[in-house]
Amino acid sequence: MDGDMTRREYVSILGGTVGSAALGVPLAADIAPAAAGADAVPLTVHINGSEQRLAIDPRMTLLDLLRERLDLTGTKKGCDHGQCGACTVLVNGRRINSCLSLAVCHDGDQVTSIEGLAQGGELQAIQAAFIEHDGFQCGYCTPGQICSAVALLAEVRHGDASFVTPGLQRLRPVELTDDEIRERMSGNICRCGAYPGIVAAVQTAARESGSATRTKGKPR
Amino acid sequence: MNPFQYQRAADIAGAIQSMRPGCKFLAGGTNLVDLMKNGVEKPAALIDLNRVAMSAIEPLPEGGLRLGAMARNSDTANHPAVRQNYPLLAQAILSGASPQLRNLASNGGNLLQRTRCPYFMDAAFPQCNKRAPGTGCGAIDGLHRNHAIFGASDECIAVHPSDLCVALAALEASVRVRGRNGERRIPIGDFHRLPGSTPELDTNLKPDELILSIDLPSSPYAAHSHYLKVRDRASYEFALVSVAAALELEDGAIRSARIVLGGVALKPWRVAAAEQALIGKPPGSAWFEKAGQEAVAGARPLRQNAFKVDLVRRGVARALGNAGGLA
């Protein structure tokens, strides 16, 4: 690739407008003409700690706002229908699918995307653990996986149960077995199948952050 | 996505006043926004409820628990009062979707979610009486492996996708709604409609009515309940068949039972005959299997989904066994 051209610029020149049609995924650019039109809605939202005052087309999802308007392309568009989890970001500390949430619903919210996790060039423990355990191959689902894992650790610290947590009636600390991690990460699909590395990365980060003790789950 | 007017509602009164024909309330959006992308839903305006104070979960003065319509599925499932007194509901919610979807999805929205029938979800299919009344049903002569075996009609054989609603039906919840003409309660069993000759109507909610809360009566079933979900993969998947089973035991006998099926009809399918068959009986596999047989009486499977009859029969017995602590 020539000079300072980013991968994104290269792809956009190469594919032009045909790219989105060929992928079968509508890019936000397809609806961009109305973005600054008469129906634009004012929105103030805090993205990775910085306040953004915007006027946007109400059809724009939070995902498209991040990628197409703010050039925060770390968050990925996989299915655009809430079935893959590639678009997972944190809103007020909670993980959501940004593809199914209209940006206008987030007035005043604090949004954290993958770009906002590292502090001062220092990776978060879960980011380092993904590298240590090869929790990815192609990397496309990874930003969503990592944002999801950050929230998972917070949910476990909070004592939230999952479908595989035994004895829902007993409110007690979560024992973070491999089964628990698989269930809690099930909203993030990895088509490379890096799941064993992802489970190991979450276990490592949980241990380092003191979220839970490591326990071996039942083999499946 | 079609253009629409966007409005942020500040409170309940304002939201109801803003409602006009062709408009929709917007809660979590996990279903509505998806259907708008597909061109299945084309509201003229969205009235955003996300800043309306309707997310409290609080005890009712007469006993029971009120679940705010805007409380998120995740907060509902992990509320201490839900986990301790209504574990069936917690289990059902946690069986559905994914953590990030449950963080967005609201309780009211879960009641109003639409079928996942592919002929409905994809506007490219010419036939769907629910999406475009009068066009026919693509599923009856098409793919219907995951369609209804109870309560379907010649017009529509879709199923309701909710897990939460199946548990609500077992707990005899009521839905508190308000419109321009005031407030009323709809028992959960009367909330959803069977397709009949009007498959385009999912519920008995009037167009101007807003769901305020889901009210749970106090329950004698906390100690013995189970939500069984049978699906094509172990997580993040809709049910082929689900069973909400609950037993009230007294002196070694079954005093009352609740058995509701999911994934088999356009509404949670309560099987009163199966419940009745258990009253006064000792909990045990013989009677649970009998209840399973009662549960499939009247099933009308199609070519591709006869397997659901066996799944229901055996699923009911297994869910009851788990509920009774016999598994």
Shortest CA gap A183–chain B (Å): 7
Please give the Cα distance from A96 to B100 (Å, whole number): 4
| Residue contact A31–B83, C-beta within 8 A | no
Q: Left if phi > 0, otherwise alpha if psi is -120 to 50, otherwise beta: which for B205?
A: beta
Q: How far is CA B256 from CA A98, B20, B224, B274, in A?
A: 44, 44, 11, 11
For the purposes of burial, counting CB atoms within 10 Å of the CB of B122, is it exposed (0-12), middle (13-18) or buried (19 or more)?
A: middle
The full DSSP string for A27-78 is -GGGGGGGTTSTT-EEEEEEETTEEEEEEE-TT-BHHHIIIIIS--TTS--S
B residues 191-230 near A, CB within 8 Å? 222
According to DSSP, the β-strands at B23-26 and B45-48 are parallel
pLDDT tens readout for residues A195-207: 999 999 999 999 9
Shortest CA gap B26–chain A (Å): 9
**Contacts of residue B105, Cβ cutoff 8 Å, sequence gap at least 6:** B27, B28, B30, B31, B72, B73, B97
Average pLDDT, chain A: 86
- For residue A37, what pLDDT band results from cuts at 50, 70 and 90? low
Question: What angle do the packed helices A125-132 and A142-158 form, to 10 degrees?
Answer: 120
Nearest chain A residue (CA) to B5? A39
Please give the Cα distance from A101 to A76 (Å, whole number): 14
Residue extents of the structural domains in chain A:
7-116, 125-209
Asked if A7-116 and A125-209 have one fold, the answer is no
Q: Side chain identity at A71, as an amino acid letter?
A: D
| Residue contact B100–A97, C-beta within 8 A | yes
Shortest CA gap B98–chain A (Å): 5
- Provide, rounded to the nearest whole percent, the portion of chain B with pLDDT above 70: 100
Rounded to a whole number, what is the largest CA-CA distance in chain B?
A: 62
pLDDT tens readout for residues A46-81: 999 999 999 999 999 999 999 999 999 999 999 999
CB < 8 Å to B74, chain A: 94, 160
pLDDT above 90: residue B294: yes
Please give the Cα distance from B262 to B116 (Å, whole number): 13
| Residue contact B100–A187, C-beta within 8 A | yes
Beta strands in B51-135 (DSSP E): 57-59, 65-68
pLDDT above 50: residue A36: no
Q: Which of A100, A159, A165 sits opposite B33 (nearest CB)?
A: A100
Query: First and final CA of chain B: distance in angstroms?
Result: 49
Nearest chain B residue (CA) to A89? B100
Cβ atoms of residues B99 and B66 within 8 Å: no
User: Residue A209 has what pLDDT?
Assistant: 83
Shortest CA gap B73–chain A (Å): 12
- The residue-averaged pLDDT of B167-178 equals 98
pLDDT above 90: residue B265: yes
- The residue-averaged pLDDT of B196-218 equals 98
Q: Left if phi > 0, otherwise alpha if psi is -120 to 50, otherwise beta: which for B41?
A: beta
B90/A contact by beta carbon, under 8 A: yes
| Residue contact B103–A95, C-beta within 8 A | yes
Residue that wins the pLDDT comparison between B123 and A35 = B123
User: Residue A38 has what pLDDT?
Assistant: 57
A101/B contact by beta carbon, under 8 A: yes
Q: Which of B87, B100, B236 sits opposite A148 (nearest CB)?
A: B100
pLDDT tens readout for residues A83-105: 999 999 999 999 999 999 999 99
User: Residue A17 has what pLDDT?
Assistant: 41
- The residue-averaged pLDDT of A6-10 equals 56
Provide the 8-state DSSP code for B47.
E
pLDDT tens readout for residues B8-37: 999 999 999 999 999 999 999 999 999 999
Provide the 8-state DSSP code for A160.
-
Overall pTM > 0.90: yes
Task: Among A169, A172, A179, pick the best mutation site for testing chain B contact (most B Cβ within 10 A).
Answer: A169
User: Residue A4 has what pLDDT?
Assistant: 57
- For residue A220, what pLDDT band results from cuts at 50, 70 and 90? very low
Question: What are the residues facing B68 on neighbouring strands?
Answer: B213
Which one, of B277, B264, B259, lies nearest residue B318 by Cα? B259
Q: Which of A34, A39, A102 sits opposite B29 (nearest CB)?
A: A102
Task: Among B46, B98, B233, pick the best mutation site for testing chain A contact (most A Cβ within 10 A).
Answer: B98
What SS3 state is found at A122? strand
Q: Which of A80, A94, A165 sits opposite B103 (nearest CB)?
A: A94
CATH number of A7-116: 3.10.20.30
Question: What angle do the packed helices A195-209 and A142-158 form, to 10 degrees?
Answer: 40
User: Residue A190 has what pLDDT?
Assistant: 98
Structural domains of chain B in order of their starting residue, each with its CATH number: 5-50 (3.30.43.10), 225-323 (3.30.390.50)
| Residue contact B99–A187, C-beta within 8 A | yes
B77/A contact by beta carbon, under 8 A: yes
Which one, of B140, B134, B144, lies nearest residue B154 by Cα? B140
According to DSSP, the β-strands at A88-91 and A94-97 are antiparallel
ipTM above 0.95, yes or no: yes
User: Residue A9 has what pLDDT?
Assistant: 55
Shortest CA gap B197–chain A (Å): 30
A residues 49-68 near B, CB within 8 Å? 58-59, 61
The full DSSP string for B241-280 is EEEEEEEEEETTEEEEEEEEEESSSSS-EE-HHHHHTTTT
Helix (H) or strand (E) holding A18: helix A18-23
pLDDT tens readout for residues A131-180: 999 999 999 999 999 999 999 999 999 999 999 999 999 999 999 999 99
CB < 8 Å to A163, chain B: 91, 94-95, 235
CATH topology for A125-209? DNA polymerase; domain 1 (1.10.150)
CA angle, corner B73, sides to B12 and A86, nearest 5? Answer: 115
Q: Which pair of tokens denotes residue B107?
A: 């309780």
Please give the Cα distance from A156 to A160 (Å, whole number): 6
pLDDT above 70: residue A12: no
